[in-house]
Structure 1
Amino acid sequence: MSDEVEPGFVRVRLDLSYDGKDFSGWAKQTARRTVQGELESALQTVMRLPYPVELTVAGRTDAGVHARGQVAHLDLAQAVWDEHRDVLMRRLAGRLPHDVRVWRVAEAPAGFNARFSAIWRRYAYRVGDHKGGVDPLLRGHVLWHDWPLDVDAMNEAARTLLGEHDFAAYCKKREGATTIRTLQQLSWERDADGIVTATVRADAFCHNMVRSLVGALLHVGDGHRPVDWPGKVLAAGVRDSAVHVVRPHGLTLEEVGYPADDLLAERNRQARNLRTLPGREPSPGCC
């Protein structure tokens, strides 16, 4: 599948952040407020375009999920880019609502695709287990868990989930999409203020994967499940009703990683290929 930019057009990369509280996720929806909808509308307005723009994003976040390091791209006619490149970010700042900001606008290198060129996405999920609750100033970004958490136990359980696996047990299945992913990092750390943060990094994530993994590990951390339970759920390969999908407001997309510029096109091509595990039939690729 070719992803070449049409002659006379320029691919533009946007780096942005948003507070997901009042958004129905990233993806544009009829009659619902979304990040994509707000951003595409603002871009069309500030560039005075007679046609809508279309963004491609690194990761489609769900309703209520935040982003600090989201990446998107769009293709613009060279003349439009030349006219607006130096003023576009400032004009977007004046047009966008206060819960979404664009921090960088730049011409993308050859072969770049915000979604398919990415080699990893890194999320953070923040939890507070203080018996008094969560600091009111953090309540929109930290989940309160009303049982004390054993971080060492959660880290021990997390190690069994690392690597390439079929994460069907931790994903909401979508027709025609694979649930095979490579989980590169899953670790927990408690900071000086007592907030427990999960760092979760993978080549890609399927629907509800991070929030399901966090939900399973919280069961271990509070002593309701043994350390080996999350690994057994993964091996079973089917959704387990005991795995709770935690609320979205504790989750933030922190960063998206890309290879060196000369490897972007190859990564773009590879990410569209079929994915399978040894001994299984291939499934359609999906990011």
Structure 2
Amino acid sequence: MRWRIDLRYDGTEFHGWARQAGLRTVQGVLEQSLATVLRQQELPTVTCAGRTDTGVHARGQVVHVWLPDGQVARDLVHRLNGVLPDDVWVSGASEAAEGFDARFSALWRRYVYRICDDNIAKDPLTRNHVLRVLAPLDVDRMNEASTRLLGEHDFAAFCRRRVGATTVRTLREFSWTRTAPGLVEATVIADAFCHSMVRALVGSIVPVGDGRRGIDWPATVLAGKVRDSAVTVLPAHGLTLEEVRYPADDQLAARATEARNTRGEVHTRG
């Protein structure tokens, strides 16, 4: 029986999502917790919507997992949260609809990157979730530059290439908002993301906001289709996976097939 699990986590103390021998990862912790509550020695394998990197957080991560029939109680959420560490929290668990695949059925992922650009507004309590920059940012300039990156493109200039994997993505939204004095948030939505793509995209816009680069520069980098060393991949701690959107239940299987055929074994990391 395939189950869908929704979870949140603070990525500060994790070496990313993917299970790694000898390292604390979100996948490793979740699989061990599932094995504990199911009282089985063999660890179940979970598949996530977006494999977050070391230090990246999530409020809207989604996974699927095959669980033995008859061994899953209705209080799975309560039981998992009873054994998971404090930096991981399951917000929902249910039998998945037919055809559901946490990774390939997804229509898009929404990430938010948070930046503080004012010393007075700096909050030590958010130091693990908000990047501090030294110069004030012009949100209007940043939005103008970001708009020029929207649409379907080869984002090789902002990705780490992998053999056999495409770097073509559809960027649906890339917008900047000042949500409070000294706090700027970038919202980035795409069908999927290559390794470090979100942090590289945001890193190309920040120097536009502080005046070091022209508004056209990020689009020029994109057109080059080659990883540009002038683009700074921003630190992971400012990034949070906020939401993953799926189609209606009767379209889940078709969407998964489409994604597999067009993208193959794509990464969906920020």
TM-score by length of 2: 0.97
Secondary structure, in 3 states, of the residue corresponding to 1:234? helix
Counterpart residue number, 1:125: 113
Question: 1:206-239: per-residue Cα shift (whole Å, max 9, x none)?
Answer: 0010000000000100000000000000001111
Equivalent residue number for residue 126 of structure 2: 138
| Separation (CA, whole Å) in 2 of partners of 1:175 and 1:135 | 42
Listed as ranges, the gaps of 5+ residues in structure 1 are 1-9, 276-283
**CA distance in 2 between partners of 1:244 and 1:185 (Å):** 20
CA root-mean-square deviation: 1.1
Q: Does structure 1 residue 58 correspond to structure 2 residue 52?
A: no
The SS at the match of 1:169 is helix
Distance in 2, Cα, partners of 1:127 & 1:17: 21
SS of aligned partner of 1:112: coil
Alignment of 1:65-84 (within 5 A): 65-81=56-72, 84=73
Runs (5+) with no aligned partner, structure 2: none
Give the AA of the match of 1:63.
Answer: T
| Structure 2 CA distance for aligned equivalents of residues 34 and 51 of structure 1 | 18
Larger RCO: 1 or 2 (CA < 8 Å, sep 6+): 2
- Aligned pairs for 1:145-164 (under 5 A) are 145-164=133-152
CA distance in 1, matches of 2:24, 2:82: 19
Alignment of 1:1-287 (within 5 A): 10-81=1-72, 84=73, 86-132=74-120, 134-275=122-263, 284=264, 286-287=266-267
Measure, in 1, the Cα distance between the counterparts of 2:180 and 2:222.
32
Aligned-pair identity in percent equals: 59
Deviation at 1:87, TM superposition (A): 2.2
Q: TM-score normalised to the size of structure 1?
A: 0.91
Contact 1:117–1:259, Cα closer than 8 Å, also in 2: yes
Please report how far the alpha carbon of residue 142 of structure 1 lies from its aligned counterpart in structure 2 after TM superposition: 0.4
Letter in 2 for 1:121: R
Larger gyration radius, structure 1 or structure 2: 1
Q: Is the 8 A contact 1:133 1:144 kept in 2?
A: no
Q: What is the CA distance between 1:54 and its match in structure 2?
A: 0.3
Q: Distance in 2 between matches of 1:31 and 1:188?
A: 38
Distance between the aligned counterparts of 1:151 and 1:182, measured in 2?
23
Report if aligned partners of 2:49, 2:61 keep a CA contact under 8 Å in 1.
yes
| Partner SS, residue 124 of structure 2 | coil
Give me the whole-angstrom Cα distance separating, in 1, the residues matched to 2:15 and 2:94.
27
CA distance, structure 2, for counterparts of residue 58 and residue 45 of structure 1:
23
Which secondary structure does the structure 2 equivalent of 1:79 belong to?
coil
- Total equivalences in the alignment: 267
